[in-house]
Amino acid sequence: MKNNRRTLLYWFTAVFSGLMFRRIFSSGKKEEVTTMKFLSHDGKLVEVDSKYISRKKRSVEKEEIKNWVQRN
């Protein structure tokens, strides 16, 4: 009976230390939230999470820039 308790204690200690080891070293891997700053159509600077921005790259044409910028 004493040997069974000792074995159970060893298993409990091993599992507990494994869980603590995992908790300590996995806590440093948090999801990094990045924001990007954009200028809106009305001239305000806004910050947007990068997960909401599509990564499709398209170059802006000169005509679009001329139509977008409003002169005072």
Please write the tens of the pLDDT for every residue from 36-56.
Answer: 898 888 888 999 888 888 777
Determine the Cα angle at 44 with ends 40 and 48, to 5°: 60
Burial of 65 (0-12, 13-18, 19+ CB in 10 A): exposed
With H, G, I as helix, E, B as strand and everything else as coil, classify residue 3: helix
Residue with the larger pLDDT of the pair 31 and 55: 55
For 58, other C-beta atoms within 10 Å of its C-beta total 6
